[in-house]
């Protein structure tokens, strides 16, 4: 590293340190909203196994919160359909969207050590058995202080019932 790079790095570190020293602790719900969505999902087990597109509409609850303090930032995201309903394009049958998607993370400003956990339970529920589409995923990531990814756990499933 030459002297110009060293001065630049020291200046960057000093700027981050000063910023963190004057930034007060902050914890707040940033978004708590209910907005209408339009969503199209292919349900592979619908229409007697031929599959069909399902057009869904209705309110989605969204919650976003962040906490910032002198050395960390953490956050939480939550998405949940509420009374989201739809119709199959081929059969005209009714469906409901249910489930919840959540994600939480934490990152250290000092060394950028971080973790992230994502959990998705996404369900398109038909009128009878055999055309319910269930998607589940749990994803967890850890990064060490060097920025290297040290843990990856991804458990994904998509089934019809």
Q: What is the pLDDT of residues 90-109, one digit of tens each?
A: 999 999 999 999 999 999 98
Residue 5, pLDDT above cutoff 50: no
Query: Tokens standing for 143?
Result: 């990064």
Q: Give me the chain's average pLDDT, please.
A: 85
Q: Which residue has the higher pLDDT, 159 or 31?
A: 159
CB burial string 97-109: b at 16+ within 10 A, e below: bbbebebebebeb
Domain residues for 59? 24-160
Quote the DSSP letter at residue 133.
Answer: E
Mean per-residue pLDDT for 52-71? Answer: 93
- Of 69, 138, 128, residue with least CA distance to 102: 138
Q: Flag whether 73 is in a domain.
A: yes
The pLDDT of residue 27 is 62
Tally the residues of the chain: 161
User: Is residue 12 assigned to a domain?
Assistant: no
Alpha-carbon distance 100 to 123, whole Å? Answer: 9
The mean pLDDT value for 32-44 works out to: 95
148, part of any domain: yes
Q: Are the C-beta atoms of 57 and 84 separated by less than 8 Å?
A: yes
Q: How far is it, in rounded angstroms, from Cα 72 to Cα 108?
A: 4
Does 3 map to a domain? no
Predicted TM-score of the model (pTM): 0.74
Domain count of the chain? 1
Q: Is residue 8 part of a domain?
A: no
- 105, β-bridge pairs: 75, 116
| Residues 58/34, Cβ–Cβ less than 8 Å | no
16 occurs within a structural domain: no
Dihedral Cα 63, 64, 65, 70, nearest 10 deg: 180
Nearest of 161, 104, 96 to residue 133 by alpha carbon: 161
Q: Collect all residues with Cβ–Cβ distance below 8 Å to 80 and sequence separation of at least 6.
A: 60, 61, 99, 100, 101
pLDDT category at 29 given cuts 50, 70, 90 is confident
Domain assignment present for residue 59? The answer is yes
Position 10 pLDDT exceeds 50: no
Is 60:80 a contact under the CB 8 Å cutoff? yes
Tokens of 79: 């998405």
pLDDT band at 52 (very low <50, low <70, confident <90, very high): very high
| Residue 5, in any domain of the structure | no
Q: Quickly state the pLDDT bin for 26 (edges 50, 70, 90).
A: low
pLDDT attached to residue 6: 32
């Amino acid at each position: 590293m030459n002297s110009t790079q060293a001065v630049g790095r020291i200046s960057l570190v000093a700027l981050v340190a000063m910023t963190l020293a004057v930034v007060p602790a902050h914890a707040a719900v940033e978004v708590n909203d209910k907005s209408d969505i339009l969503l199209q999902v292919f349900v592979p087990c619908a229409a007697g196994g031929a599959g069909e597109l399902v057009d869904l509409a209705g309110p989605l609850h969204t919650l976003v919160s962040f906490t910032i303090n002198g050395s960390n930032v953490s956050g939480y995201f939550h998405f949940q359909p509420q009374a989201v309903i739809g119709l199959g394009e081929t059969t005209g049958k009714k469906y409901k969207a249910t489930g919840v998607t959540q994600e939480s993370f934490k990152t250290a400003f000092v060394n950028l050590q971080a973790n992230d956990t994502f959990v998705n339970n996404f369900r398109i529920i038909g009128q009878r058995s055999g055309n319910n589409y269930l998607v589940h995923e749990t994803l967890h990531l850890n990064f060490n202080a060097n920025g290297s990814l040290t843990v990856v756990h991804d458990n994904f499933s998509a089934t019809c019932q």
